[in-house]
Amino acid sequence: MRIHTFVEHPDLVGVALGTAFGVFTRVLMLRSDYRQYPAYPHGRIIHLALGLIAGALGSVAVPALFNKDYTAITFLSLAAQQFREVRNMERNTLTAIDRQELVPRGATYIEGISVVFEGRNYLAIFTAFMTSLVVTVTNGYWGSAVGLVCMLAVLRLMKGKTIKEIARVERIPVRVDGPNIYVGGIYIMNVGVGVDQQVIAEEAMGFVLTPKNGDARVTLANMGQRQAILHDVSTRLGVYRDDGEPSLLPMAKLELSTGKLGVLILPREKDPDKAMKAMSDVPLLESAVRMPTEANRTKGDVQHG
Amino acid sequence: MARIVAVIASERQQVAGGAPIFIADDSAELQRLANLAEKILDCNAHQLSEKVYILVDHHAVD
């Protein structure tokens, strides 16, 4: 009976394996990491369902092509449309949530996360397509092998860069000089109320990030990247802050002459090693990365697009 | 642009202008007023000098 089904539907193995690998790729990429997102059960279900659709679309495309059903490929454009919608959905949700955060993520970070969510679906399609293609051309064993290779490649490719790759991270004590707060000689802010000055002197932790090259200097100067640093570190270490306490605000300021970034954070967890790790592992935002050295290398007129 | 919401001073001669001005008798009351006003207005209290504090709304948009 079972064999009979497979003989009648020769594409079934390819489609089934392709879909399975596509979904599994999406599951692997859907880790709830320290960014705490998506940690909600329903958010996960949405992404798993979309991953299933992505996998199915990718794997079905192959038999459609083999049967000379070329118009079926246009369905992939429908999928692209669908996944752009995913990016919108993520952006809207995160922007709505951001207003209630003690330390907001900032628009740049949100944009970065949304792009990742869209991109991951395309990677699921890609894995499903490759698996299905190889199954159709050879057999299920080779197909599974290619699926595994694709999955490993995807996992490797999706590892983004972190702060420690572009900057040297140092812990520097915070200096409270009357109302003025400094981190390693970098002026951070003016806090007038004595109680808050005392809280900052006791609770605050200072970091100085020294950029390793010119490109890194421009990236660190990006406001979105700075907000992402503050948000990520505050998420991992907790934050000593409340609504209506405007002075207790984690903040990052540049030393203009050198391009160093002074970061003041108010952590709950004051373990220096954990703090150092949290700061070093902050992701570099795609839209914050600037490469002026590369841009200047282009000869002649600059061509956009 | 940030906006000055209020001025708190213990030296009447040093302040004038458009924002509400509160005069404190001594430095202890100056601190108390600055702290209270910061919590009530949700604005940062910045110390310009020993005797003058300003409350600044950094969220204000023009």
ipTM, 2 decimals? 0.89
Residues of B in contact with A245 (CB under 8 A): 39
Amino acid at A229: I
Asked if A253 and A184 count as a contact pair (C-beta separation under 8 A), the reply is no
Q: A303 lies in a domain?
A: no
Same domain, A176 and A144: no
Q: A305 lies in a domain?
A: no
Same domain, A43 and A133: yes
SS3 of residue B42 by DSSP: coil
Asked if A262 and A186 count as a contact pair (C-beta separation under 8 A), the reply is yes
Q: Does B58 touch chain A (CB under 8 A)?
A: yes
Q: A300 lies in a domain?
A: no
Among the listed ranges A215-224, A288-297, B3-12, B37-46, which one has the minimum average pLDDT value? A288-297
Q: A228 lies in a domain?
A: yes
Instruction: Give the whole-angstrom CA distance, residue A287 versus residue A290.
Output: 8
Same domain, A201 and A282: yes
Q: A56 lies in a domain?
A: yes
Q: A112 lies in a domain?
A: yes
**What is the band of A175 on the pLDDT scale with cuts at 50, 70, 90?**
very high
Same domain, A126 and A223: no
Same domain, A168 and A154: no
Last residue in a domain, options A122, A137, A159? A159
Q: Does B5 touch chain A (CB under 8 A)?
A: no
**What are the tens digits of pLDDT across the range A30-66?**
765 545 555 667 777 888 888 898 899 888 888 888 8
CB contact under 8 A, A194 and B46: no
Asked if A153 and A198 count as a contact pair (C-beta separation under 8 A), the reply is no
CA proximity to A83, closest of A54, A61, A107: A54
Amino acid at A101: E
Same domain, A112 and A169: no
> How many domains, in total, are found in chain A?
2
Residues of B in contact with A190 (CB under 8 A): 46-47
Same domain, A117 and A44: yes
Task: Give the pTM.
Answer: 0.83
Last residue in a domain, options A159, A190, A208? A159
Instruction: Give the whole-angstrom CA distance, residue A107 versus residue A282.
Output: 16
List the structure tokens of A26: 């999406």
Q: A210 lies in a domain?
A: yes
pLDDT, position B23: 93
Q: Does A191 touch chain B (CB under 8 A)?
A: yes
Q: A21 lies in a domain?
A: yes
Same domain, A132 and A57: yes
Per the structure, the complete domain to which residue A203 belongs is given by 164-294
B residues 15-54 near A, CB within 8 Å? Answer: 31, 34-35, 38-39, 42-47, 53
Same domain, A145 and A283: no
Residues of B in contact with A179 (CB under 8 A): 46-47
Last residue in a domain, options A140, A159, A178? A159
pLDDT, position A208: 95
Among the listed ranges A98-112, A152-166, A186-200, A263-277, which one has the minimum average pLDDT value? A152-166
Same domain, A144 and A109: yes
Among the listed ranges A11-20, A150-159, A205-214, which one has the minimum average pLDDT value? A150-159
Same domain, A9 and A149: yes
Same domain, A135 and A186: no
**What are the tens digits of pLDDT across the range A222-273?**
999 999 999 999 988 999 998 888 899 999 999 999 999 999 999 998 898 9
